[in-house]
């Protein structure tokens, strides 16, 4: 069931709506501002409701929103080296908002837009038209993001279509904390089905290398606490101030499957993640330092699993070979990501 309610009003007077999705067990609140997941309430091991995503109570905080809490990111999730996008021999200078590089769509990304909405049964579809030249990207881009909440699973379906060759790499930037947004996520246990990360330079730009995770702090092929090696003396961990790295998933692009499981022993909540995208950015909230719904969010108060294509793949053929973000005019961009909640089975 989906109900539409008033959430708050933007500085310019525009009312912001929240859509309340319920499946009888869990409840998600999605805003038409940024197509943002504002809250996601699931039952803990005692049946008590726990809000497992970080967020804010007011839209003024979302207008600021350092850290992109819960928002849809576009046109391009993560970084593009010096904002350089070369298409058909022409260079498009994208806005550089992060140490001289393009991050999360630029100056006004999709996280700062009011999206149109339609509701069909249990499906909420948020859409927008990003005009040709917006943030300097070529092509009029139609974007649709469909949220459903069914059987304790929040599913996000991404769709985009351009009338010119362009770059598209959408993601959602929810920060999860299975303990209800309080305290650190370092004791959460993570299994992540990946053998390689894409190491970065000192500005967090991956430049073409793959690093094997075996025998490194990045290995989550056997479930371990997120905090176990988060302060390791490892060049990549130190550059990211924790995990802020793209993991190449084992599924072939377009093949939908399970790629991660996260558990909190404290609440007994287990989150299983699925996608058909080629990669995921594991980001452990290394720069969080802001007031949120539950109080102050400090470093490592939440973690993100941002499904995507490899950052900067528009400039690195070895990354594009694992799933290119360049789409021809008329070629549909269609991907899915889902987060399913259950109680930890006693082991
Ligand atoms: C990036 C981080 C960045 C964070 C918030 C993540 O997706 O990987 O480097 O700090 O978003 O902007």
- Spacing, Cα 335 to ligand 1 middle (Å): 21
Encode pLDDT of 7-36 as tens digits.
Answer: 999 999 999 999 999 999 999 999 999 999
Q: With CA atoms as reference, report the closest residue to 135 among 107, 177, 163.
A: 107
Mean pLDDT over the full length of the chain: 97
Percent over 90 (pLDDT), the chain? 97
Give the residue whose CA is nearest to atom 8 of ligand 1. 244
C-alpha distances in Å from residue 321, one per residue of 63, 88, 226, 317: 36, 18, 29, 6
At 252, the pLDDT band (50, 70, 90 cuts) reads: confident
DSSP 286: T
The answer to whether the beta carbons of residues 306 and 173 sit under 8 Å apart is: yes
Q: Is the CB of 296 under 6 A from ligand 1?
A: no
Q: Please state the atom number of ligand 1 nearest to the C-alpha of residue 240.
A: 9
At 279, the pLDDT band (50, 70, 90 cuts) reads: very high
Percent over 70 (pLDDT), the chain? 99
Full DSSP string of 2-28: EEEEEEEE-TTS-EEEEEEEE-SS-EE
Q: Is the CB of 204 under 6 A from ligand 1?
A: yes
∠322-328-333 over CA atoms, to 5°? Answer: 65
Give the residue whose CA is nearest to atom 9 of ligand 1. 244
Q: Is the CB of 33 under 6 A from ligand 1?
A: no
Instruction: Give the three-class secondary structure for 262.
Output: strand
Give the residue whose CA is nearest to atom 3 of ligand 1. 67
Best residue among 74, 103, 285, 311 to mutate for probing ligand 1's pocket (most ligand atoms within 8 Å of CB) is: 103
Whether pTM exceeds 0.85: yes
Give the residue whose CA is nearest to atom 4 of ligand 1. 67
Encode pLDDT of 209-234 as tens digits.
Answer: 999 999 999 999 999 999 999 999 99
- Spacing, Cα 237 to ligand 1 middle (Å): 14
Q: Which residue has the tokens 């991956």?
A: 206
Task: Read off the tokens for 300.
Answer: 């490592």
Q: With CA atoms as reference, report the closest residue to 301 among 292, 312, 310.
A: 292
Q: With CA atoms as reference, report the closest residue to 30 among 185, 174, 178.
A: 174
Residue 95 pLDDT exceeds 60: yes
Four-residue CA torsion sign, 234, 239, 240, 242? positive
- Spacing, Cα 152 to ligand 1 middle (Å): 27
Encode pLDDT of 33-63 as tens digits.
Answer: 999 999 999 999 999 999 999 999 999 999 9
- Spacing, Cα 347 to ligand 1 middle (Å): 34
Residue 253 pLDDT exceeds 80: no
At 347, the pLDDT band (50, 70, 90 cuts) reads: low
Give the residue whose CA is nearest to atom 12 of ligand 1. 67
Residue 346 pLDDT exceeds 70: no
E strand intervals along 115-252? 116-120, 123-130, 141-150, 153-162, 166-167, 171-172, 189-192, 194-197, 211-212, 224-225, 244-249
Q: Is the CB of 203 under 6 A from ligand 1?
A: no
At 274, the pLDDT band (50, 70, 90 cuts) reads: very high
Task: Read off the tokens for 185.
Answer: 């996520």
User: Which residues, in sequence order, are bridge partners of residue 298?
Assistant: none
- Spacing, Cα 141 to ligand 1 middle (Å): 24
Q: Is the CB of 68 under 6 A from ligand 1?
A: yes
DSSP 83: G
Q: Which residues are catalytic?
A: 173, 306
**pLDDT average, residue stretch 177-184:** 96
Q: Is the CB of 67 under 6 A from ligand 1?
A: yes
Instruction: Categorise residue 152: left if φ over 0, alpha if ψ from -120 to 50, beta otherwise.
Output: left
- Spacing, Cα 265 to ligand 1 middle (Å): 27
**pLDDT average, residue stretch 70-81:** 98
Q: Is the CB of 243 under 6 A from ligand 1?
A: no
For the stretch 30-33, contacts whose Cβ atoms lie closer than 8 Å and that sit 24 or more positions apart, written own/partner, are: 30/124, 30/126, 30/147, 31/7, 31/59, 31/62, 32/114, 32/115, 32/116, 32/117, 32/126, 33/7, 33/59, 33/62, 33/112, 33/113, 33/114, 33/115
Task: Read off the tokens for 5.
Answer: 């309610």
**Residue 74 burial (10 A CB sphere; 0-12, 13-18, 19+):** buried
The answer to whether the beta carbons of residues 93 and 102 sit under 8 Å apart is: no
Best residue among 77, 102, 104, 280 to mutate for probing ligand 1's pocket (most ligand atoms within 8 Å of CB) is: 104
């Amino acid at each position: 069931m989906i109900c539409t309610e008033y959430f708050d009003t933007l500085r310019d007077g525009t009312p912001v709506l929240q859509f309340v999705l319920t499946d009888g067990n869990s409840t998600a609140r999605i805003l038409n501002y940024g197509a943002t997941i504002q809250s996601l309430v699931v039952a803990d091991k005692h049946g008590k409701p726990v809000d497992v995503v970080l967020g804010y109570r007011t839209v003024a905080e979302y207008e600021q929103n350092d850290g992109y809490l819960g928002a849809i990111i576009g046109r391009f999730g993560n970084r593009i080296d010096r904002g350089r996008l070369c298409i058909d021999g022409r260079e498009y200078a994208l806005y550089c908002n992060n140490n001289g590089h393009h991050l999360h769509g630029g100056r006004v990304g999709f996280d700062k837009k009011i999206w149109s909405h339609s509701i069909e049964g249990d499906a909420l579809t948020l859409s927008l038209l990003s005009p040709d030249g917006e943030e300097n990207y070529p092509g009029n881009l139609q974007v649709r993001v469909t949220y459903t909440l069914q059987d304790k699973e929040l599913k996000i379906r991404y769709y985009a279509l351009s009338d010119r060759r362009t770059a598209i790499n959408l993601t959602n930037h929810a920060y999860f904390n299975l303990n209800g947004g309080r305290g650190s996520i370092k004791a959460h246990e993570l299994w992540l089905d990946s053998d390689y990360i894409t190491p970065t330079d000192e500005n967090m730009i991956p430049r073409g290398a793959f690093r094997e995770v075996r025998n490194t702090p990045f290995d989550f092929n056997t479930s371990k606490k997120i905090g176990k090696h988060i302060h390791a003396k490892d060049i990549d961990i130190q550059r990211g101030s924790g995990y802020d790295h793209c993991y190449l998933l084992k599924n072939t692009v377009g093949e939908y499957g399970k790629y991660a499981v996260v558990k909190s022993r404290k609440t007994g909540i287990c989150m299983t993640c699925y996608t058909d995208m080629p990669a995921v950015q594991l980001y452990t909230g290394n720069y969080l330092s802001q007031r949120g719904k539950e109080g102050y969010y400090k470093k490592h108060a939440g973690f993100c699993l941002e499904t995507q294509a490899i950052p900067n793949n528009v400039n690195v053929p070895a990354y594009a070979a694992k799933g290119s973000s360049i789409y021809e005019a008329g070629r549909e961009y269609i991907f899915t990501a889902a987060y399913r909640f259950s109680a930890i089975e006693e082991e």
